Structure formats: C-alpha cells, structure tokens
Structure 1
C-alpha cells in the first residue's frame, strides 16, 4: 500500500509554521545559485538498449494499481494509472529527464522560449509541423486556447482539480500560423514549462460536458506513439495499440496492456505468466531473489508456507492428530492438508519466477514524518523541533534501504530530491539528531519528568482503527503519579510488571533497575567463568567495580542512565506528553509500520510517549490525515520538476475560512508562516532561474525550521521484469519513452548505459 498523495499538477507529468525567532541567519546561508550540483541518489535501472537491438512487435503486460477513475489528468481523481495512459497517447510539450528536469519533447515542439518580459511575459511555442491528432487535424493554437479557457478557473462549470499557471495567462494568440502559439501572462510565471503537458484536443477542453464527463471514460482523439485500443473494466485491463498516424520513431511493441493487479498479488501473477513488468513491494522482490538463489536446489524451501514449522510445532501437531480429541485431530489434519497444498503452490510459483529479475532504483518520492501543528502538544514549535531532533534519520533510511541493496541516504530537502537543480541540504536550519537538545526544548516548553498526573481515563475506541497504547514497550502511567514498566522491559525472572516510584524519581529508578539487571548478568557470567576456567566470557571485570558502586533501588546521585535507556515520561499541567501516531493497517504497509516502531523508540528516549493507532487504509487519508485527526503520521510526496508551483499548496500557511475552519489545501500538517508563503510567491514570479532556485532553497530552510514535516528517505523502486525486456524497469525520475520499450532480439544484450536512437 503506497500512501502517496499527488502534488498539484503531478498527474500532468506522470501520475501531498512558527519559525523560531532564534533561527540564526547562517542557517539560510549556502542557498545561493552557485551551489554544487547534486546527482541522483540512485541511477535508473531499465536495461537500456539501442532500437536496432530490439525486435519489432510483441505485447507488454504491465501492472497498474487500479483501473483509472478518469482519463482527464486535470480532475481530482486522476492517478498514476491516468498518467501512465496519457503519457503514451497524448502530447506533452516538456517531459522529465533522468535528473528530474523538464526537457523539450521534439516530437511535438520545435522551440519554446520567453520572447518578452516587459511589459508582460510572452512565451512563443513553435510546434512540430508533422504533429497531428489521430483524426488527421494538426496540433495547434486552438488546442492551446481551449485548454487555457478550461483550466483558467474563470468558468466554474469546468470541474478542475487545479489551475496553477493557467490562471496567470492573459491571452493566447495565433502567430504566423496555427503552429505558432503566443502565450501572454498577466503575471510572471517561472514554471511555464509545466503548462500544456499533457495537451488535450480542443474537442475535450472545448465544453464543460466533454471535460467533466466525456474524457473520463474514453479519449476518441489522441496523438502519441500509442492510441487507446480497448478499456475492459470487467477484465481490469487497458489495451494501447500502435498509433498508425504517429510521425515519430515507431513504437517497437504492437500492444501495451495495462493490467490492474494489487501489489500483494503481483508475484503470483508474474509466476502465472500474466504479467511481464510490475512494481513490487519488498516481499515480492524477495520472492524473485529467492527464486534465483534456489534454482536447481532440491528439497523443501526455507521460505514461504511451512517454513516456520519447528520441530516443537511438528511434535505438537503429531500429538493432536494422534490424541483422544477427535474434533481437534480432524481440524489439525485439515490444516496440514491446507498447508501442504499451499507449499506445493508456492514451490511451483517460485520455479516460474526464475524467469524474472528485479530492477532497482529510488522512486522520485520521499517518505516524511508529518507533525500536526494545529492543536495539542505539537502546536508548540519547540515540541515539534524536539521530536525532530530526537530522530536519527540515517538509521531510519538505513533500515529501509540497506536490506534492498540501495544507497543509504537521507532526504534533506522538502522541495527537490538529490539530482534536481533545486536540491540543497537545508536540514541545518533545524539541526541533526541531538537527544540533549531535544530534552532541553521540551523542558523550555514546560514538559518535565514526572510531576502530578491526572488519573488516566479509559481510552475511547475509534471508528476505523484500534489504539495500541505504548506499542514500543514504553512505561505506562499507573494513574497516581507512578509508572509501570512495560512487559517488554521486564527481565527474566520478573513475575509481574515492576512498579516504580512517583514521577520525580521514576527516571533514575528505571535507570537503576536496568543497571541492576546488567550487573546481575555480568555476575552470572563471572560465576560461570569460575566454574569453567577454560571458557571466555564477556564479563571479565566485576560489574560493581565497573559501574562505581553496588546497585540499589536508586541510582547514586549523578549516575548516567545506561546508553539507550528511555527517559522518564514527561508531563505538563497534570497531563502526560502522549502523541497519537496514526498508521495504515493494510497489507503492503508493513514497512511504514516498522519505521514507525523505530520512531516510537527514538521518542521514548526523550520521554515522549506515543499511542499507536492502526486504521483502515481507505480511511487513513480521508478520515485522519486530511481531517487532522492525528499527531504523527507517515506518508509520501512525489518529487516535482516545478517546486515553486507544486510546493506552495503543501507548505502554505492555512487560511481561516468564514465558518471558522481552516483552508489547508494540501498542507496536512497545518504548519506554515507568512514568510514561507512570501518566498514561494516570489519564486513563482521570478523569471531568472538562478534567483528562482535560490528563493526555493530559502523556502525549504524555513520549512525545516518550522518542523511540521521531517523528510526521511527516498522510497525504494523495485520492479520485476523479464530479462529480455529493454528500456523498462525502475525509471527513477525519467518518464518512460514508450516507443523504445520492447524485447531484445535473439543474442542481443542490454547496454551498460542508455543508448541514443540508432
């Protein structure tokens, strides 16, 4: 499950503060235009090959998450499936390259440039003379004008999801002919290259009915290397076929079949020869790796159904089958039969997965920890900053990326990813992980260890989710100013949870108990050494001497807590510092939940407790993130080649509405400042590209300082592909070149790097 809101305009390309007065000016230094260029954290992995090495013909079956709700990229329910289709069948004036930058598409556009800046910005487009719609009409000025009128926001009959940029256009005129288009802006617009990509025919954009309803289910007229052949909603497939009127490099494939297959079912679909190319989660990628490793081996597999059967479990099963309880025996026999069937099915699938490989890169999207600053403890900027300073972001990135063999790197920018022109590490505006600084910030905000606590009330159940209090094993409030160590903190031999004293001594007492447990372990090791002098033991010195005194119920004054020990729970005004951590509960969200568990343990070390609430995937965004019913949450934003335009609604300061509610656009953290808005507004209207990038970097530094969103890591991109499939796989930033995707000729091999068209 990918929790990945679309940025405004994202569908048009391919597929969601209180700044401290003490923020040093130097935190914004280094944001100039002469910063050293960054490189993508991971290159694309698409098995590149020259066109003369690729066969003509064939069908590619490519998995998508769901059937598209609409074929109109400018509607609210457009998704990645919409973008996959429009990328193959519609014009785009600019497409995104491997460095995440917009590049002119020569199949449609001979030239596009700003020809005037005073008194108004004017952009002149010169279109490719061969470019025609599938009905034979040339692509020209009437299509540009119709799209502008539909998306300008002036006609409310058009149900548009966004109109950024189009609302700045004053007029569109025909030049020397329909292939020349003059676009005059009422206000300067730096991201003008984002416009008219994709470009729809005037028939779609010309009337509200065609825009609102007609383009949802079908596109009669297209202009790409492929055209829409059939949309079978019962079979959950969209078939694209070669466009006979295409004037560019002919598509190598005859057909491109986009099949809606849930990610959890893709490994089985690959094994059943129903797919040729599919994005996978880590579990699916592991299965292909296991298949390659196990090829040619005999005997039972060490993974899959039945792999967890231990000798103890097998003995228990034998005892049940041969026991006196006939009903239990029958149930166990049926369970054995079901397991054997699952094992045979799994083994067969694994044998069929030998024919695939996993192509890896980093997706152009980053996962963040969102901190809801609208209410509760996180409304205080100091608490948000403390939470951020408690996080070891490198450790979190390593936990996700290292097991997959991907480069371990944190994302240090909200508005661009490494490799893009606007990228710069601005995280110094907030600071690195620092437990002492985090605790100092909490103390400054009035949150102190212990203190009188109100009696803990029974936690109400929440619709759509279940609450897991202190899921990390954190200490629980006993309701009278004392704390109970969680079961996970108990040592062998403890018969019941340990009851600690009142708040002021809880932290020291907890440290002493851990100290005592460690000492006992070392003493046992010392005894074992005396019994067996030939053995070597870790505890070579007397633990009491090592720690400077015999342990007791209370640690000696000034004794530091053992490394990694949790801080005592914090309280203020009779209430404990507890944050609601909302997470999706569905299959495919295991990685997010594992990251959340690590974050919970990191926060525990500074005395911040979490109530983990697992909710249904369908309600996660609508009922919790978008509505603000959370304190902490994990979700992702896609990267943008147009950070000024696409970043503003995500980080803009919420605006109070007439009814008292907040208009948050896509700023689900509800954290923003006037200064951040001003920097975005300046960047959007700045035509000097160096100046625009400098303003974007300054805005990012301010977003870091506000601590509403903490970027963690770039998401892994894992794609299963047939070895003979070329120019497809883990694309990274770059949009697919659909006409170059195909199957290698016999004996041909992929290039080491992308090849030019032969």
Structure 2
C-alpha cells in the first residue's frame, strides 16, 4: 500500500531496548530470522497478468482516519489516506516504477517534453479521450487553475507546497485544445512532479472552492474509479469503476476504505473485515504471519520516521535546546527497540533527503546527530538551563516539554514516546506525553504547529524538491509543511537553487549542503528507514510491498481465478 510523499503518518516503534544481533525471538521462543532490507527496485506484490485475475469482487482497505479534506494540495488534505483516495479518482499524469524511474501515463498523456531550455518550456499532449466526470475534456485551463492555486501569488489559496509552481511564468493552450504549454521563469529539474494529480479547474478556480470545496467529498473525478458512497457513520468511503472510463477496465467491483485506529487493523484483518494490514509491529507480525491464506510481503521504499521539533514556541525557540535534544535522543536505541522480532533489520541514517540505499546519500548528521549526553548538557548550560540535582532548571522552573501523541496510537507508538521521555529525563528534561483525539491529531495539532515534539513519517519522496515545503521558511499562518517553523534564508536559498539544477550530481551536492544546515538548526531528527512488511490475502494480485513505485495501479489489482 502506498502513501504519498507528503503523507504524514504516525511513526511506530517497539517497546523495549534490546540489542539486535541478527535475530529476535518469536512468541514460541524460536528466533525470528532477520534479513537485510529489500533491495531498491524490488517489489513483492504477487504480480500477475490481467488474464489470471477474475472479474469482480471487493477490496477492503483500512485508513487511519475518516477524511476531512480530499484536496491533497492543501495542508489539511495533504495526508496519506486523503491523498491516496484523491489519486485513485483523479488523473495521475506520471508515476514512478519500482526503481524510482518516472514515466507518463498514456491514459492521460500522449507525450510531455521540454521543447526549449531558454526559457524552459514544457509541452503536454493530453489524451483526447480523457474527460472529467462533468463531461468536460482535460485541458489547459485545468493546468492553469492548479498553477494559480499553487504558485503562492494569491495568499487566499491555502496551498501546502508552492515549489515548482512559483517558478512558472505562464500556462497557456498549445497547438490545439489537447495541448498545454507551460513556460518557466527559471529552470525546474523536477517538472514531472507538477500537476500530478491534475485537478479540475471547475472545482479549484477560486480560493473558496480550493480551500473548502473538497471537505469530506470529492466534487469532480476523472479516472478509472469514482466515489459512490461517503458514510461517516460507518466511517467508510466506497469507490467503484466509472463506466465512462476510457482505459483498461478495472477488475474489481468496488474498493472500500474503512477508518480504523491502527491498533484495530490486525484484528480486523484476522476477522476478514479488511484485506491488508501492516505487519510492521512485532506483536502484529507474529499473529499475521500465521494467518491462513496470508502472504507477508516485504519491500524497501522511501519511508522515514522522525521526531519533529517546534521552533516557534516555548523553550524550543532556542536552537541550543533543539540541538541538545538531538544529542539526548538515542536514535540507535529507538531503532533497535522497534526492530526486535521483525524479519528485516533496521538502520538509522543521517539525511533528511535521501534513504541509505539511494544514490546521493551521505550522512550529514555530523556533530549534531550523535547520542552524547555530555554535549547535550553543555548546550543546555549555554541556554541557561543549569543542572540542579537531576533536573535542568532556569528561573526556578524545570525544563519541561510536551510530546503530542494520537489517542489512536499503537502500543509501540506509545513506547517510542515513553522511550524518548526516559532518554530526555537522563538529560534533566521533563517530557509530558499529551494524547489527543485521533481524528484531530493532524488537523488540530500537527499541520497547524500546535505541538512541541511529535513523531510522524514522510514517504515516497521520489522527487527531491518535494521536500522543499518541509524545510522552507514559513509565511505567517501558512506553515506549508514545515510544521515546526524551523528554517533559515540560507536553507531556503540552497533548496531553491537545487530545484533549478538539472544536473543530478550537482543537485545532490546542494541538497546535502542544505541537509547539513538543517541538522545544525535542529529542525527534526530522523530515526530510521521504515521497511514495508505487509500482511495481504494470498489471492490478491498486483498489490503489496511496491518498493519505490509511488502509486498503486488499481486497474490491475484483483483476485486470482
């Protein structure tokens, strides 16, 4: 199952700190054999040709919460479940394969190419068969509407990510009604990530439509599936094939998304209420691996678990306090705790932009990401928090922070918070764990910066520039995706320069330079690369651990004959 690059999902960790020596222990006392993470480019999806798949059937999938906003281009809609459902029913112009290589989708695009380098100009040739559910053909006005909503010029649009769009100078019709010409003011290397998914102009061409027109519903669709039912009472959203679809006919009769607390997924799978569940937590893996008719599908993807620091409030406004946290939190202990009793080894890493198995990766944590209680103490001393007994005190008050946690968290997510709490206590810092309602976690806490520490994931960042809004400077109440409001003009400038650098090696050098500054500023602390370990019905084809592929082709998913 995929989540988008901008998906913010709560991270999961395991309970106790035990050394990983190549194997853990199972519930019957036998060791769990551990292997290295799956190689980049590999998949475990039970691949089959369409001829092997029967026509019909329902696919039942869990989501972490009922969807409040389906517009994935807004901050509140920029959540993994919302984005996946949006992309199921809207045109996806490009997608990455298992190796991370990007290709156009011929159902929507006949071609897309840079026709001029000065200025950079891209011409898209749309498939004439492609239409919206209101009967209109996909056209240049749709591209124009996405650009105007996303380029940051009109602050009334609550855009989550303006990068790339703010480098476009003009969007216009090409040679005919099925061509679109996009002209850039300066080069943009990752132009294929733009307008993807494409949204209809009729549903986003005013700030009111863009910001509010996608709340709890999708107004217009344009793909193989459409939404047939929103049931807030049952917490389900049902998609069915669109009879007007011009491409390959889907095999499934319907896909039902059901909002469930993550803690309920394993039982729901075992009760055959859903057809997929994460087997990433050891206690879940042990139960799911023994379930009849179940495959454990394992893969490697761009998936990082991190702890976010809020530099806009309280003691964390001081960079020295944020740096101290980076030294007081033992990342290796957290990864070790999480990885015990799993079939895949975990590793910490030192980059905000690259996974360890990616070209361009280098560890930029340097002097800022080491576990070093002495250094943490020196930084806290410099910030005025002096050690009195076992407490760090300033102005007569102990240094106290809060860790925001969803009430729908798994025991392992709670364990991570408690492990961080114990680690910070060793540095004299008191950490209060604040549980908030699961359905409010993102919209009322994370995405509006209403926290001090919290932990979630960024996934599937095939295009490096997708990370720009995570580390860019905020603008008033618009946090973009930099929910902790930690950045600098230097970081902003480096990331803008990197996004305009078309030579990959030169761009990677700039991203690594920016990464070193991000570590020094104490933006967030990457913990470990999270593997894909999924329990999936054995009869389900073309679904599972997709590796670097960034979206599921649901026209190919179905049940074997």
- Tell me the TM-score range normalised by the shorter chain: 0.7 to 0.9
User: For 1:314-353, what aligned pairs fall within 5 Å after superposition?
Assistant: 353=291
- Find 2:506's aligned residue among 679, 683, 691: 691
Q: Are residue 195 (structure 1) and residue 194 (structure 2) matched?
A: yes
Q: Are residue 584 (structure 1) and residue 399 (structure 2) matched?
A: no
Tell me the equivalent position of 1:98: 98
Pair 1:621–1:180, CA change in 2 (3 A): closer
Gaps in structure 1 of 5+ consecutive residues = 1-5, 17-37, 293-352, 451-482, 484-568, 746-758
1:192 CA drift (Å): 1.9
Tell me the equivalent position of 1:248: 247
CA distance in 2, matches of 1:428, 1:417: 17
SS at match of 1:63: strand
CA distance in 2, matches of 1:270, 1:604: 38
Larger Rg over CA atoms: 1
1:399 CA drift (Å): 1.0
CA distance in 1, matches of 2:399, 2:361: 35
Q: Are residue 725 (structure 1) and residue 545 (structure 2) matched?
A: no
Q: Is the 8 A contact 2:41 2:100 kept in 1?
A: no
1:68 CA drift (Å): 2.8
Q: Is the 8 A contact 1:46 1:729 kept in 2?
A: yes
- Given the two structures, how large is their TM-score scaled by the length of structure 1? 0.61
Tell me the equivalent position of 1:595: 416
SS at match of 2:103: strand
Q: Are residue 714 (structure 1) and residue 539 (structure 2) matched?
A: no
Tell me the equivalent position of 2:429: 609
Which string of whole-angstrom CA distances, capped at 9 and with x for unpartnered residues, describes residues 483-515 of structure 1? 5xxxxxxxxxxxxxxxxxxxxxxxxxxxxxxxx
SS at match of 2:340: helix
Q: Is the 8 A contact 2:278 2:533 kept in 1?
A: yes
Larger mean Cα displacement after TM superposition, 226-235 or 203-212 = 203-212
Pair 1:134–1:603, CA change in 2 (3 A): closer
Tell me the equivalent position of 1:231: 230
- Find 1:388's aligned residue among 317, 321, 326: 326
SS at match of 2:115: strand
When the two chains are superposed, the root-mean-square deviation of aligned CA atoms in Å is 3.8
- Find 1:667's aligned residue among 482, 490, 496: 482
Pair 1:421–1:381, CA change in 2 (3 A): same
CA distance in 2, matches of 1:15, 1:641: 20
Tell me the equivalent position of 2:63: 64
Tell me the equivalent position of 1:270: 269
Higher helix share: 1
CA distance in 2, matches of 1:214, 1:249: 30
- Find 1:680's aligned residue among 495, 507, 510: 495
1:677 CA drift (Å): 1.8
Pair 1:424–1:51, CA change in 2 (3 A): farther
1:744 CA drift (Å): 1.9
1:401 CA drift (Å): 2.2
Q: Is the 8 A contact 2:10 2:457 kept in 1?
A: no
Which string of whole-angstrom CA distances, capped at 9 and with x for unpartnered residues, describes residues 495-551 of structure 1? xxxxxxxxxxxxxxxxxxxxxxxxxxxxxxxxxxxxxxxxxxxxxxxxxxxxxxxxx
User: For 1:425-464, what aligned pairs fall within 5 Å after superposition?
Assistant: 425-428=363-366, 430-442=368-380, 449-450=387-388
Pair 1:404–1:56, CA change in 2 (3 A): same
CA distance in 2, matches of 1:131, 1:258: 26
SS at match of 2:62: strand
SS at match of 2:517: helix
CA distance in 2, matches of 1:441, 1:207: 48
Tell me the equivalent position of 1:636: 457
Q: Is the 8 A contact 1:115 1:124 kept in 2?
A: yes
- Find 2:306's aligned residue among 348, 355, 368: 368
CA distance in 2, matches of 1:110, 1:14: 34
Gaps in structure 2 of 5+ consecutive residues = 12-36
Q: Are residue 80 (structure 1) and residue 83 (structure 2) matched?
A: no
User: For 1:149-228, what aligned pairs fall within 5 Å after superposition?
Assistant: 149-153=148-152, 160-206=159-205, 211=210, 215-216=214-215, 222-228=221-227
Which string of whole-angstrom CA distances, capped at 9 and with x for unpartnered residues, describes residues 143-167 of structure 1? 3234334444556675655544334
Tell me the equivalent position of 1:113: 113
CA distance in 1, matches of 2:321, 2:212: 47
Q: Is the 8 A contact 1:15 1:83 kept in 2?
A: no
- Find 1:417's aligned residue among 355, 377, 382: 355
State how many pairs are aligned. Answer: 531
CA distance in 2, matches of 1:377, 1:210: 39
Tell me the equivalent position of 1:508: none
Tell me the equivalent position of 2:297: 359
- Given the two structures, how large is their TM-score scaled by the length of structure 2? 0.80
SS at match of 2:434: strand
1:580 CA drift (Å): 1.6
1:112 CA drift (Å): 1.9
CA distance in 1, matches of 2:216, 2:380: 54
Which string of whole-angstrom CA distances, capped at 9 and with x for unpartnered residues, describes residues 421-450 of structure 1? 554322225353344544555556666654
Pair 1:239–1:449, CA change in 2 (3 A): closer
Which string of whole-angstrom CA distances, capped at 9 and with x for unpartnered residues, describes residues 554-597 of structure 1? xxxxxxxxxxxxxxx36566657634242426242422332233
